Structure 1
Amino acid sequence: MKDLKLLHQLVEERREEMVEDMMAMSRIPAVNPRMNGEGEYRRMQWIENWLTAHGIPCEVIDVPDDAVKEGVRRNLLVRYEGTKDTSRTLWIISHVDTVNTGDLSLWNTDPFEPVQKDGRIYGLGVEDNSQSVIESLHVCRIIQEEGIRTTCNLAILFASDEETGSKYGLHALLDQGRFSPQDEAIVPDGGSPDGAFVEIAEKSQVWLKITVNGKQAHASMPHLGVNACSIGMHLGAAIEDRLKAKFGEADPLFNPPTSTFELTQKFANVDSPNVMPGKDVFVMDLRILPRYTVDEVMAEVDAVIQQYTDPARGVTISYEFITRVDAPPATPSDAPVVQRLVEAIRESGVDAYFGGIGGGTCGAILRAKNIPAVVWSTLDDLAHQPNEYVIIDNLVNDTKVYLSVLKKYCE
């Protein structure tokens, strides 16, 4: 590879172009269809056109999905064959879909009309994960224009559907056999404000949708029905209390260091305040330390549900997994991808360290297939929050780190 100082200077010179690209791409909605959006297809088209305009070949990988009008979820892959070792590939994986806006009244600006202010760009998804998409695009451009070739294969993936489990993104590519056991990956989808944190482990992740069935009645005549809403509220609190008490040990590798069990989504039940609901549906988000299994936790959930089930009164309770990802083994801290990334970060003046998070990235999916993966980025951790922003300096500096990693990894 060419001298890193020269490559870093090229990145710095393209600061304004990176900003312009972030602004342009962020104007195209890419809300996951299972979060009431139209999907990321149009944004993928923008990325494909950008790559084509800069002479960068890419492979289009469409995965059928009836939830979007196009009938497919698009993934894009830029791949460079190694000059010496073609048996292994270093991947950089970013996702293109976003979550929904949430409560629009909490946004100070239009989330679909990005705003540049005080060294930041505000908009939906700019941190999660558009920051890394733009960085990856400019890594591709520099590699292409400077004729850089690495000794091992390099693959840069722009994936769909990460926000609801990656069925139509990374999982589909794994099913197609596009990864080998010798591969390693960087997933720039989490990190810390100073860029020091390198994630090598994740907790198990469960989104549990619970349905309580009772009997609808007029609220002034409760004896004629069974209040599913009341049962659901008590049940949810009881499950939360039970799990926090039973699985409360800490592991300092993770931030936060304990398992988390939170009541989150609540579905509408009745349309009138004087109707006692006969059905209540809610969701819990469970992030479970690897020392506990999901099955252990679910045994406690089942025990609490049994206490609230009363068939004689017509009370039945069921649940389904919206998402279930059992924690895979951590990426070994001495894996080449970990060591090279940590070295590159430290050379940028940041004292890097590694640890674990609550879960929910493509890194865990790869680790489950025994592919070492690290999750890293420099960000203020604003994913899924109103007034999400990306710091422009982070866009530039993280791109420099990726180029440093490529040089170190392939040496």
Structure 2
Amino acid sequence: MELEKLCSKVESFREEMVKTLCDLIKIKAIGPDNGGEGELDRAEYIHGIFENWGFKVERYDSKDDRAKGGVRPNLVVRLCEKEDMERIWIVTHMDVVPEGDPDLWDTPPFEPVIKDGKVYGRGSEDNTQPLVSSMFAVKALKDLCIEPKRNLCLAFVSDEETGSRYGIQHLINLGIFRKGDYFIVPDAGTPQGDCIEVAEKSILWIRFIVRGKQAHASMTHQAINASREAMRFLLELDSTLHSRFNRKNELFLPPESTFEPTKRESNVENINTIPGRDISYFDCRILPEYGIDSVLEVVENVVENFNSRSEAKVSYEVVQREESPPTSVESKVVTLLKDAIKLVSGVDAKPVGFGGNTCASFFRKAGFDAAVWSTVDGKAHQPNEYAVVEYMIKDAKVFSVLPTL
């Protein structure tokens, strides 16, 4: 009976949910590390909605002078104020990545467009769709005055896209969460909603600096071309890492470790100058079978070997590293989530691994059980990113059912 009431109530929010999604897309919540002002405007918008609904909102700012207002805000909302209740958390992030090349978009990235049951815009899927789902799940429970078996708590965090130092790590360090809490992080998924992520690959970001000698492009005898040497080095490193760490684990998709050259910083502004410095980055997602230190040992060997053969010199630094234990497939959060998904959509969800890095990894490192689940088409960080309205509605139903099971 409660299931039918909750599903019906969530359905009644359809237009309001789409409007909220569109309003949030318009707020450009890009973090300072990616050239933006941060999440303050989004946080204030969300704060205002919950206050209008009659919820108490707790705000935990992390100081960051680069951001608007000098802070990176984090919000917490609880269905009940009973301190002795078991607590299940849904954690979403407010920040989004930059739009990338605007010419690759069919519509302006921060002007939402509704078409064929989808809402297009940067951040629509990652992470605004599940963020809105969580908001209206707790509203449905409150409006129906349902007495839950456990408290449903929501956290809306900053800085997920650039390391979570000002977001979920800040909340964990403050002691907001307590022993026995468990967490759902709806930051990855499938179109069928049939995969519950219980393990993440380790993440390693590395910055490589290749130093050569700058000269006029016509005076090659006076130069050491850092760009050319960087390309040689990066290809050599790429080949070595893939050959040395080649195991497969079918829990994950893709099933192998990935080592991808990604960002390259601008070296010279004009065409007719040979660059004397080149800066490049690798994004590595490493299976749990391997340790990050073993990868770094190989990187060090490749750097030393290359430097012994090249007139250019390579150095490197670790930009980010994260590794965390898996969550048991028998844990309460996985069991409850599987039951809720089955009740709402009839789907038998299975445990999987994930190559990305989410807030769940920080919870697992802190000793908490966390599961990653949502229903998405996997358009995060892509041009023409979109959210699917039906997915947003369905996931809100699943979230609303969780405290009643």
- AA aligned to 1:345 is I
State the shift of 1:253 in Å.
0.5
- AA aligned to 2:336 is R
Partner of 1:60: 59
Matched, 1:330 2:329: no
CA offsets 1:195-242 (integer angstroms, 9 cap, x no match): 001100000011111111111112222221211111111111111100
1:309-320 correspondence to structure 2 within 5 Å? 309-310=307-308, 313=311, 315-320=312-317
- AA aligned to 1:359 is G
- AA aligned to 1:179 is F
- AA aligned to 1:323 is Q
SS of 2:68's equivalent in the other structure is coil
Matched, 1:9 2:8: yes
SS of 1:70's equivalent in the other structure is helix
Q: Could you tell which deviates more after superposition, 215-224 or 390-399?
A: 215-224
State the shift of 1:311 in Å.
10
State the shift of 1:84 in Å.
8.5
State whether residues 216 and 277 of structure 1, in contact with CA within 8 Å, keep that contact through their aligned partners in structure 2: yes
**Structure 2 residue aligned with 1:133, among 110, 131, 134?**
131
Q: Could you tell which deviates more after superposition, 146-155 or 399-408?
A: 146-155
Q: Distance in 1 between matches of 2:282 and 2:216?
A: 28
Q: Could you tell which deviates more after superposition, 370-379 or 139-148?
A: 139-148
Partner of 1:387: 384
Partner of 1:272: 270
Partner of 1:249: 247
State the shift of 1:136 in Å.
1.3
SS of 1:206's equivalent in the other structure is strand
- AA aligned to 1:251 is N
State the shift of 1:312 in Å.
9.3
1:231-380 correspondence to structure 2 within 5 Å? 231-310=229-308, 313=311, 315-326=312-323, 328-347=324-343, 348-380=345-377
**Structure 2 residue aligned with 1:404, among 393, 401, 404?**
401
Partner of 2:162: 164
State the shift of 1:329 in Å.
1.3
- AA aligned to 2:189 is G
Q: Once superposed, what is the RMSD of the aligned Cα atoms?
A: 1.6
Q: Distance in 2 between matches of 1:263 and 1:117?
A: 35
User: Structure 1 residues 153 and 12, CA, compared in 2 at 3 Å: closer, same or farther?
Assistant: closer
TM-score (norm 1): 0.95
SS of 1:157's equivalent in the other structure is strand
CA offsets 1:49-90 (integer angstroms, 9 cap, x no match): 11111111110111101221310001110024475843x421
State the shift of 1:404 in Å.
1.9
State the shift of 1:147 in Å.
2.6
Q: Could you tell which deviates more after superposition, 399-408 or 95-104?
A: 399-408
Partner of 1:77: 76
Q: Could you tell which deviates more after superposition, 19-28 or 315-324?
A: 315-324
- AA aligned to 1:62 is D
State the shift of 1:283 in Å.
0.5
Partner of 2:93: 95
State whether residues 79 and 138 of structure 2, in contact with CA within 8 Å, keep that contact through their aligned partners in structure 1: no
SS of 1:309's equivalent in the other structure is helix
Partner of 2:182: 184
SS of 2:319's equivalent in the other structure is strand
SS of 1:199's equivalent in the other structure is strand
CA offsets 1:346-382 (integer angstroms, 9 cap, x no match): 2221121111011210011111111110000000000
Q: Distance in 2 between matches of 1:229 and 1:26?
A: 38
State the shift of 1:188 in Å.
0.6
Q: Could you tell which deviates more after superposition, 287-296 or 75-84?
A: 75-84
Q: Distance in 1 between matches of 2:177 and 2:18?
A: 32
Where does structure 2 lack aligned partners over 5 or more consecutive residues? Answer: none
User: Structure 1 residues 138 and 272, CA, compared in 2 at 3 Å: closer, same or farther?
Assistant: same
State whether residues 127 and 389 of structure 1, in contact with CA within 8 Å, keep that contact through their aligned partners in structure 2: yes
Q: Distance in 2 between matches of 1:316 and 1:227?
A: 11
State whether residues 26 and 123 of structure 1, in contact with CA within 8 Å, keep that contact through their aligned partners in structure 2: yes
SS of 2:378's equivalent in the other structure is coil
Q: Distance in 2 between matches of 1:60 and 1:266?
A: 37
Q: Could you tell which deviates more after superposition, 398-407 or 122-131?
A: 398-407
Partner of 1:46: 45
Q: Distance in 2 between matches of 1:311 and 1:290?
A: 33
SS of 2:197's equivalent in the other structure is strand
* Residue correspondences, number: 404
CA offsets 1:305-342 (integer angstroms, 9 cap, x no match): 112225994x332222222112x111000001101111
Q: Distance in 2 between matches of 1:196 and 1:337?
A: 15
State whether residues 82 and 151 of structure 1, in contact with CA within 8 Å, keep that contact through their aligned partners in structure 2: no
State whether residues 150 and 404 of structure 2, in contact with CA within 8 Å, keep that contact through their aligned partners in structure 1: no
TM-score (norm 2): 0.96
- AA aligned to 2:375 is T
Q: Distance in 2 between matches of 1:85 and 1:388?
A: 41
State the shift of 1:182 in Å.
1.4
SS of 2:251's equivalent in the other structure is coil
